[in-house]
Amino acid sequence: MRFQIQAGDIEHGGSASARIKSELTRSGVDPSTARRVGIVSFEAEMNLIVYSDRGGSLTVRVEPEAVVVEIEDSGPGIEDIELAMTPGYSTAPEWATDLGFGAGMGLANMKVNADGFEIWSQPGEGTRITCRIDRAGSAAPGRKEGHETE
Amino acid sequence: MRLSRIVETLGLDTLVPIEADVEITGGCVSDLLSHVLASAAPGNLWITIQHHANVVAVAQVAGIPAILIAHGKRPNDEVLEQARSAGVTLLGATESSFELAGRLHEILVAER
């Protein structure tokens, strides 16, 4: 599944993620895995809407033992990834915080719900994030129970 | 406790009717969407003052069957329609989140 998310399109914010979760459930992915993918996707989708210059893509790939979520945009990029990953840190504009976004938990929520988390970002170029969510019951190496962080 | 019984006991307004009368496992009170995604458990009733379209998506993703909108706030028709088609129950009340959380907690604990 691939979705193009428009920057600033707050009205449809979360609709791709809700669809991802229901499509996964329908195609036989267990509810707990589908929920984690939904949360990762929602945070990614809202980040593209609130922070990206020109929107970006949200791609979900179902593999036998995991679901992989890839997010890519072309800017503005993140100056300090470590700071952006810190729970509570946010650069959200006021209109977004008024709606309950910008709690500074987005990237942290993605990492907590993923079994694998990779982020690349370059100011002026863009951001790429890959999250791997192991499917419950799969024998994938390195699988962790629950929502523990790395 | 079943959702319908909570609605009845607390005298809540039903803005989008119950589609499946599920068991409510507990509650979550927050107006920060990421905080809800991080802390709500599936089957929780969510109390908030947020009433825009994104809350419906949050409920869908987090497995929250019903949202209770406090302080007399009312979503617009578009949000109601979105909740209806997503199967998410929307409830309303004039009381504060604090008041509603207290009363919900009381009846859920009394049932244990």
**Which pLDDT band holds residue A146 (cuts at 50, 70, 90)?**
very low
Nearest chain B Cα distance for residue A139, angstroms: 25
Chain A (44-73) residues lying within 8 Å, Cβ to Cβ, of chain B: 46
Is position A118 within any domain?
yes
Extract the tokens encoding A80.
């300090």
pLDDT of residue A141 exceeding 80: no
A89 vs B: CB within 8 A: no
Closest Cβ opposite residue B61 in set A12, A17, A103: A17
Paired tokens of B45: 């009733």
Task: Evaluate whether residue A145 is within a structural domain.
Answer: no
**Cα end-to-end distance, chain A, whole Å:** 27
Q: Which domain holds residue A7?
A: 2-134
Residue A59's Cβ-side half-sphere holds a number of Cα atoms within 13 Å equal to 11
Full domain range(s) for residue B104: 3-111
CA separation for the pair B92, A136 (Å, rounded): 36
How far apart (Å, rounded) are the C-alpha atoms in residues A68 and A75? 22
Q: How many structural domains compose chain B?
A: 1
A50 assigned to some structural domain:
yes
**A83 touches B: beta carbon within 8 Å:** no
CATH number of domain containing B97: 3.40.1390.20
What pLDDT sits at residue A138?
74
Is the CB of residue A90 less than 8 Å away from at least one CB of chain B? no
pLDDT tens digits, one per residue of A18-69: 999 999 999 999 999 999 999 999 999 999 999 999 999 999 999 999 999 9
Q: Does residue A25 sit within a domain?
A: yes
Q: What is the tens place of the pLDDT at every residue in A69-85?
A: 999 999 899 999 999 99
- The residue assigned the tokens 């949000």 is B79
A19, A105, A113, best to mutate vs chain B, most B CBs in 10 Å: A105
